[in-house]
Chains A and B, each alone.
Chain A
């Protein structure tokens, strides 16, 4: 009884903010989030048309393109790291595995959660999970189910850290004992829904520019989730190591350099495989017939500017152990994924329509997206400041 009281007391004390409240980051982001919440309320009261630029021609816009199509592959680092550390026993990445799982868990909760905003008939959002009308044949059904299951897996992967934070030893041991099956299930689910997002585009044949539409899109999307996830780990890791340096023990900090080099190597490998497959698709569809056009130029910007060039940067930076160049390359790769995914939703999608009928996001759509990202960062900061995220796990 007394223990429970102590636990509640501890949680209450942890809920209070730590550190100064009026920091520049807080002062800038808090109003953005507040206005974003107003836009979200407006969306539910007045319908999608009141806040978005969606049209009959472009049923999917920024919210799908960024939150789902881009946010999910950026969060791919979580499944890559748990695979390397827990399944393959690569201890080198142990210092970042918890941070990777945390950012994956938050990304899935927020980005998949933000999907509810985009659902026109959101009160039916549970229909794919309950009732008797499961659309098994739909790739989107598979993705919805996998999002849910994977978020649970990611939570179970992160739960031991919460148990450690609350000093709940029995629960932590229990969670630890089911970790390997959970990790294996999580990686399998990730493989399927990361590629499944690509499979969404398959039935839009004829509406997506032939340079982009391909049967290989699911595999391309899966590869993107590997190098996209690793780029995010490099990018995010570099920022958190500065911002949260006071939370990071010396033994973790020392290994950061060699971890970044390792991630850059892995990233380059997956990116190379991606570009090779992209090239073979290009040959298959007789890409050169389309290349001398606006869309052809745009294709080259995506594949060379945000694919081949960062690959070359990575390879040379790994040799020279140049962390700065690795960071820039990682950022370019992340942008490349964003461009690629936007293409499938509204740029290369219906490329044949005149400019006047095309979709571009409204300021309220962009603002809402910013709100979601910033809220996620707030929660991330709250957790890192309290839970033992940056520690090297001991063998048990």
Chain B
């Protein structure tokens, strides 16, 4: 190999190394800051206590500056509703083997959220206290919607300047030392706010103390790697509209399979191709 070729090869290699951090580096997969990192907060939803009053819906709309729904109107229970750009949380009614059950739906605030991994501009963020929040540097590519296992982010298609809307676990209120609006509004204490660890403790205690009242599973303890919203129920969760086929693997792990190989390809491919180039060079060519 001539000196010039060697320098060329070296140049390519160094460029590769220089670009490496830019070309896909797994940085936040499951990693937490070292040192004093606060614990994730969360909300425990005890569906056995919920009476379907929809006070949480109204409180949520009010605190987020959205149109407040008429909570006297019970006809909304006739259809299965999903959160929208106008309603970040909705309550649904389910007929089950143990009577009717009301279930509040909103962003689950995953421990390792697919939307945060998906976001290429860090508009979606997992705050150190567990809140999954959205910021205005979003490009509107909607990859988060494509991947979210709970179909939560909602996009304002009808606007020329659209935003992504979803529950933010009242991040602004939290910064001012207040508890989430829905929790504050709940007359039944069906919602409790606290450290995720304490909530799990409480949920397990309730199941243990009253095994007839509860189905022995906490939805959100391990689902997709654990979520900040956790649910208790008296019936199996598929009867009240939950997906029970999501598994316990955090969704970001599925992508990590690929991201891990990126570095490898970036080192192996150029070197291999350069040697192929040298090996197949024609005699007498001074190329």
> A-side interface residues toward B, CB under 8 Å?
44-50, 52, 54-57, 59-60, 83, 86-89, 118-122, 124-125, 127-128, 131, 133-142, 144-146, 180-181, 184-185, 187-188, 191-192, 195-196, 199-200, 202-207, 215, 218, 395-396
Contact = CB atoms under 8 A, between A and B. Distances in A.
B49 interface: no
B276 to A, nearest CB: 6
Given A47-B158, A137-B252, A202 B258 contact: yes
Interface string B151-178: 1001111111110000000000000000
A236 B60 CA distance: 56
B18 interface: no
A205 B262 CA distance: 21
A-B CB proximity, top 3 nearest:
A120-B140, A49-B157, A141-B120
Interface size range of chain B in the complex: 35 or more
Nearest to B115: A203
B24 A206 contact: no
Nearest to B282: A89
Interface of B: 8, 11-12, 15, 21-29, 82, 84, 114, 117-123, 137-143, 145-147, 149, 151, 154-162, 243, 245-247, 251-252, 254-255, 257-259, 262, 265-266, 269-270, 273-274, 276-277, 280-282, 285, 287
Contacts of A138: 117-120, 143
Contacts of B245: 206
A204 B140 contact: no
Contacts of A128: 120-121, 139
16 contacts: A59-B146, A87-B276, A88-B280, A119-B139, A120-B156, A121-B161, A127-B121, A133-B121, A139-B118, A139-B255, A139-B258, A184-B273, A199-B257, A202-B254, A206-B149, A215-B257
Nearest to A189: B23
B12 A184 contact: yes
Contacts of B120: 128, 134-135, 138, 140-141, 144
Nearest to A89: B280
B8 A87 contact: no
Given A87-B277, A127-B139, 13 more contacts: A59-B155, A89-B280, A119-B139, A119-B141, A121-B138, A137-B25, A137-B259, A139-B255, A141-B121, A188-B270, A192-B265, A200-B146, A215-B257
A195 B142 contact: no
Given A120-B142, A137-B29, A395-B287, A83 B122 contact: no
